[in-house]
Chain A
């Protein structure tokens, strides 16, 4: 299996929207390679004829009535935790530079 390079770690960090310090980059690179080496043992397992598991108790589609319900909280309750609200809407930074 391929080894993760420093550039791979930087790319993952970018995908995950996490900025890493120099120290973290070095540390994670070493640790990830150690963990990936450990999980390497799965590559030699015979899985012929087996399907991947997606739901462990065998449930398939779980349906409910599409009706409005009162769960005891209001939009105002939910907006209370938002860092910046304007006209009952969540305000975010500009997206286009």
Chain B
């Protein structure tokens, strides 16, 4: 029995007056303090959280309806604009930045009574797969503190597994929700591109960025998604939502599940393979029709990603120039020097690396060979996903080729670090929803199972994920 009840139950009990929002916030803050050694949290929003809890308890006392997340504490990755603490994106260049408005996702959660209690660590600007690129600190994996929690939403994943709150928010540009979920044994949901508004979230690569919930169960992820999903005029890439994401009934018999051939090849760690194959067998026994599916362009996805992502990063990060907010070098003799000194001092190494690579692939003379070609190979990949979903309902594979690696193990080799994302980037390139759920352990470290569905089939994917979660954990 964990610290927290299912999210929907917590909210019901707060609404019924059986639980106090104030007590839930204190419980959350206490665990955050007790488990500070894992370095999952950059800052708490203590004061504001306590005020909001009081407000919610007062509403309940007056018999008013609070909402579907009444009194439920949560933790936001520190690239969400949130009141009550700085928003830094774990970067020195945003240190001291206080949001003048909140992210739409945060506003929607608050409107249903949820309470943000803290901001979680990440790789600075979400650039990384381990949180080691945070300008402040490295988060430790709750299962083994000598290992990384994955990234970039590593602080959020660790916080959920350490039970600091019933849920956390992450962002996923190339796997940043799913990889840490896999490495920490939690659930990480990457919605269809555009399903959740990104207004008020620090942009990384805008054609790939999505935000999503990180939880211990699929059901909790669905409850949180249900509150956040849908169009927002402040993010014109948002799409229409399905009616509900919380009705997770599904009849799996006869459902076709395609095991992705390219993800089950030689590079897969034997311990990971064993758990994934175990999960596949259990699904087969439960009545799912398992087939093998090939998406021949998948091995190209990472190369496509490492052109498109830096290109968009270089564009999005050009706004950090020290003139309007964030760190600013004040001793410059002219504007040019002010720009370059601010950026040289304020950005960490990985941000500089991606900005410069992006500048290169977009520069005149190289644009066609790199950026345009990458966007065209992306089309090929999208077509292969579409073709696959003509013949199967879901795709399946591991979330990562290995379990969590040691802190420092990949830090000196950027390309090796990038390869960590080899099984996650394709979903972002194709805009399809994907989820990582715990599949078991290998040498005492969690293994993540990744499931995919076609664009806009989020409810169906969550239903199948919940079913799969059930058969994996049946004894």
Which residues of A line the B interface, CB within 8 A? 1, 4, 8-9, 12-13, 15-20, 24, 28, 31-32, 34-35, 38-39, 41-43, 45, 47, 50-57, 59, 62, 64, 71-73, 77-78, 80-83, 90, 92-95, 97
Contact = CB atoms under 8 A, between A and B. Distances in A.
Main secondary structure of the interface of A (DSSP, over half): loop
A54 B431 CA distance: 12
Main secondary structure of the interface of B (DSSP, over half): helix
Nearest to A56: B431
B330 to A, nearest CB: 7
B456 to A, nearest CB: 8
A94 B335 CA distance: 6
B338 A93 contact: yes
A83 B304 CA distance: 38
A24 B379 CA distance: 35
Contact of A53 (B97, B300, B340, B375): B375
Contact of A83 (B193, B307, B328): B328
A52 B355 contact: no
18 contacts: A15-B359, A18-B340, A18-B347, A19-B341, A19-B344, A43-B373, A47-B380, A53-B375, A57-B237, A59-B239, A62-B236, A64-B236, A81-B325, A81-B326, A82-B325, A83-B330, A90-B323, A97-B334
Contacts of B415: 31, 34-35, 38
Interface in B179-236: 192-194, 207, 233, 236
Nearest to A11: B363
Interface of B: 97-98, 100-101, 192-194, 207, 233, 236-237, 239, 297, 300, 302-304, 306-307, 314, 321-326, 328, 330, 332-341, 343-344, 347, 349, 352-353, 355-357, 359-360, 363, 369-370, 372-380, 382, 414-415, 418, 429-431, 455-456
B239 A53 contact: no
Given A31-B415, A83-B322, A93-B338, A15 B303 contact: no
B100 A73 contact: yes
Contact of A52 (B339, B349, B378, B430): B378
A92 to B, nearest CB: 5
Given A34-B415, A39-B370, A77 B363 contact: no
Given A35-B306, A57-B455, A90-B324, A20 B376 contact: no
B407 to A, nearest CB: 20
Contact of B343 (A18, A47, A56, A83): A18
A23 to B, nearest CB: 10
A96 to B, nearest CB: 8
Contacts of B429: 56
Nearest to B333: A93
A56 B382 contact: yes
The 8 A-B pairs of least Cβ separation, nearest first, read: A56-B431, A52-B375, A81-B325, A62-B236, A83-B328, A77-B100, A19-B344, A39-B303
